[in-house]
Amino acid sequence: MRGAVVAFTLSAHLALSGNAVSAQSTAHDMTLQLPHPLASDETAFVIVQIGAIGRGQEIEVTTASGQPLGVVSPFGVRAGQQAGTYPLPVPRDAIRNGQLSLRLTISQFGAPPRAPTAEEVPSVKLSVGPR
Amino acid sequence: MRNSEFHYTRRDFLVTAAVAAGAAAMPFAPARAAAKYTRHNVTSAEGQRMLASYAKGVEAMLKLPADHPQNWFRNAFTHFLDCPHGNWWFYVWHRGYLGYFERTIRALSGDADFAIPYWDWTELPQIPDGMFDGVLTPTDKAFAPYTGNLALFTSFIKPAMTSYWDSFSPAQLAQQNLRGYKKLEDVWNDVTGYSVSLKNGLSGNEAFATTCGSRYLSRDNPKLDAKTATNVSEFVVLSGLLPIDFYNPSSQLSFNSSKTTNHNVPPAGSSSFSTLEGMPHNKVHNYIGGYGPLDPGPYGNMTNNLSPVDPIFFLHHSNMDRLWDVWTRKQKKRNLPYLPVGDDLKTYSDEPFLFYVGGDGKYVGPSKAGDYLSTDVFDYDYTPGTGEKIVEPPAAAVAAKRGLPLTKGTLKANVASVAVPNAAIENHLAATSSQPLVAVVTIPRPSGLSNAREFDVLVNAPPGVTQVSADSPYYAGTVAFFGSMMPGMKMSEDATFTVPLRKDLQAFTALRATGNTTALNIRLVPSQEKSGPAPTLKALSVGTP
C-alpha cells in the first residue's frame, strides 16, 4: 500500500513541478507518470506550457518512439507574450505501464529542430481528462 | 439533413430565460421549428452552391470603398481590433462575427439563403478545391490593387482606418487601450511588423501579406501536412469535445480557454488554451499561412489577426462554431450545463462587443456576449460532421454520475476541514467507482535547510497522533518532494499534490451516523520522525478530479 502511494506521489511531483521536468529534458526526452491508472472511459492529456517563443516557432510533441501527439502552434499571441498552456490528448496505446515517454522539439529558422529551453517550455504535465 | 432529432436538440436554447434565471441548463425545453438557414459541409452539393454565392459576396466587398464598413479589408480589421483568443470569449465572439458576416454576404451576393459552409478539416485535411477559385483565394488578381505591396495597402486603407479610429466612442477606445492600442499608429505597427523597441521591422510579425504571399497552400499543394493533420484528427477533436465544464481552470477539463476579466486582454501569467482552440484551430491557421515552410516570414494572412483577409478563414471558423454547437448539444443530452454556471453566467454574458458591422452595412453598436450564446440569434444550424457521434453517448456514459467538484477546506491551526456529501463518499466506496475522492494538498516547497521531504496525509487522526504506519486507519498517503531543492534554480514556491483517499479510512466507516455530510479533518506530518516540522498547509480541497 505505502509503496504504491509513494510511487504515485513521486509522479505527482513530476507532474506538478514542471521546471524540474524541463530542466532534465535537454536530450528532448522525458517520461511522465499518470496520476492514476486510466479508467476505461478516461483520456490522458499532456499539458504543455509554452513561454515567449518567436513568431513562426512551434513545439512538436511526439512519443519517444516518434508517434505524433500534436504540434503547439501559437496564434493570436502578441510578440514577447507567454504563448500559453495547451492540452494535447494522448492515445491510450501511447501509454505503457502508466507511463508516457515524450519527446519535445522546437522549430527554428534555418536549422533542424532542437530541444526547447526551460524558458520556452517551462512545464510539461501528464493529467487525466474528463470521461 | 434536417432530421427531427437534430433540430430538436439545437432549438431548445432559451437564452434570455436562462440568463434571467441564472439557470445553467434547460434540458427539457420544447422542440421548435427548424432553423431558417443551414450551414453545409463545403464538400456537399449545397456547400459547393454556397461557395458560388460566397464568391459573389467577396467580390462585392472588395469593390466597396475603404471607408465602407463592409469593405473586405475593413471587415478583416474588425477581427484585428477586437478578436479574443486564448480566453473563454473565443467561441462566442466569433459566432457574432460570422453571423453578421453571413448577413453581409447574403445581402451583397443576392442569395437570400446563403449560409457559410464549413470546412471539416478532419474529414478533408486539405483546403477545399473551390477555395482556390477566383476571389476565394487572397492570391487572386482581384486582391492585387490593394495588397500588391504594403505601400498600396497603406494608401488604400489607412486613411479610412484613421477616420474610423477617430470616430470611436470612449468605450471603444477603452477596449483598444486594454488591447495595447492607444492610437492608430500602434495598430499600424502590428500591421507592418514594426517594433518600436527595436526600431526595426520584423518580417515574421507583419500582419500584412502581399497578394502573391498571402496563402502558403496552393491548388498544387493543398494538403495539410502530417503534423497539422494530427492536430485535426478525429481523436483530437473528440477529446476536445469531452470536457463537461464550460470552463474549468484545468485546461484538459475545460471546453473553453482561460477565464479572463475581459475579452481584450490575456490572463495574468499564461493563457490556458482549450484543446480545440489550442490544437486544430491554431495549427490550421498557421499552416495555411506558411508557418514552417515560410520561416522566418513574412507569412500569409491566416497566421495573424488580419486572417479574415483570406476567405478560408470563414469556413475554418464555421467548423469551429459547429464544434461548439456539437458540444452544446452533447451537454444537453447528458443534462449537463452548457453555459457558465452561477455568477459566471452574468459576468460572461455582460461582456460588451462593440465593433461588429451588420448585414445592412451599419455598425451594430454595443452588444453583449450574451446576445450570441445561441445559434438562434442568426437562425442557423449545421449538417452533421466530425464529432457528431459524441452527442449520442454510450448508454453507460449516460448513466455515469457526475463527480464531486473540488471543495475547498477551511484552514485552522494547520488542519483543513472539509464537509463532504455522504453521497459522494458512497460513490467513492462503491466497488465499481471510477471517480475516487482525492485530497488536493498545497504545501510550501521545503527550504534547503530542512531534511523533511516526505509528509504523511492524515484524515481525522486524533490530535496526539504525529506518526503513523501504512496500515493506520488515519493514513491516506504520502506526498514527497523529489531530489534536492536546487536553490539556484527557479522553481515555484509551493507544490500541489493529489492524494486519492483510501476506501478503508476510519473517517468513512461512520458515514451513516453523520447526517448528510461527513467532516474530514486533514493534516500533514513528517513521514520520518524528527526530520523536521510539519509543513504549513497552504490549501486543501477534496473532490473527484
For position A85, what pLDDT does the model report?
96
**Residues B303, B213: Cα–Cα separation, whole Å:** 12
Number of residues in chain B = 545
The pLDDT score that the predictor gives to residue B1 is 31
Confidence bin at A124 (pLDDT 50/70/90) = very high
Which of B224, B239, B336 is most worth mutating to test chain A (most A CB atoms within 10 A of its CB)?
B239
Full domain range(s) for residue A59: 2-128
φ, ψ of residue A65 to 5 degrees: the values are -85, 0
To the nearest whole angstrom, how far is the Cα of B304 from the nearest Cα of chain A? 6
A123-128 β-sheet, strand order: A84-90, A44-50, A123-128
Sign of CA dihedral B496, A117, B259, B231: negative
pLDDT, tens digit, 9 for 90 and up, residues A93-121: 999 999 999 999 999 888 899 999 999 99
pLDDT at B232: 97
Distance from CA of B107 to the nearest CA of A (A): 30
pLDDT of residue B452: 62
Q: How far away is chain B from the Cα of A123, in angstroms, using its nearest Cα?
A: 11
pLDDT of residue B439: 76
Chain B nearest-CA distance from A23, in A, is: 9
A45, B490: Cβ pair inside 8 Å?
no
Q: Grid coordinates standing for B310?
A: 483570406
Q: Would you call A87 and B274 a contact, using CB atoms and an 8 Å cutoff?
A: yes
Instruction: Classify each residue of B156-166 as buried b or exposed e, where b means 16 or more C-beta atoms within 10 Å of its C-beta.
Output: bbbebbeebbe
B498/A12 touch (CB, cutoff 8 Å), yes or no: yes
Q: How far apart are CA B98 and CA B86, in angstroms?
A: 18
What is the ipTM for the molecules in this complex?
Answer: 0.75
pTM equals: 0.72
Domains and CATH numbers, chain B: 4-396 (1.10.1280.10), 407-543 (2.60.310)
Alpha-carbon distance B13 to B380, whole Å?
Answer: 13
Domain total of chain A: 1
Task: Look at residues A124, A112, A16 and name the one whose alpha carbon lies nearest to residue A70.
Answer: A124
Going B85 to B304 to B225 to A50, the CA torsion angle's sign is: negative
Cα–Cα distance list, A111 to A45, A119, A120, B478 (Å): 30, 19, 17, 46
Instruction: Work out the pLDDT band at A13, boundaries 50, 70, 90.
Output: very low
Residues of chain B numbered 268-307 and touching chain A (CB < 8 Å):
269-275, 278-279, 281-283, 285-287, 291-292, 294-297, 299, 303-305
Cα(B364)–Cα(B367) distance, rounded to whole angstroms?
7
Contact B251 A47 (CB under 8 A): yes
Q: Are A43 and B239 inside 8 Å of each other by CB?
A: yes
Instruction: Look up cell 510578440; give the residue.
Output: A79
Residues of chain B with pLDDT under 50: 1-32, 398-401, 431-434, 448, 481-492
Note whether B251 contacts A: Cβ–Cβ < 8 A: yes
Helix, strand, coil percent content, chain A, rounded in steps of 5: 20, 40, 45
Q: Is B41 helix (H, G, I), strand (E, B) or coil?
A: strand
Cell 528532448 sits on residue: A28
Cα–Cα distance between A95 and A93 in angstroms, integer? 5
Identify the CATH number of the domain in which residue A72 sits.
2.60.120
**Cβ neighbours for B436, distance < 8 A, ≥ 6 positions apart:** A36, B428, B500, B501, B544
Per residue, what are the HEC states of B417-466? Answer: EEEEEHHHHHHHHCCCCCCCCEEEEEEECCCCCCCCCEEEEEECCCCCCC
Q: So what's the pLDDT on residue A3?
A: 26
Residues 195-214, chain B, touching A (beta carbon < 8 A)? 195, 202, 204-205
Q: Confirm if B457 and B534 have CB atoms less than 8 A apart.
A: no
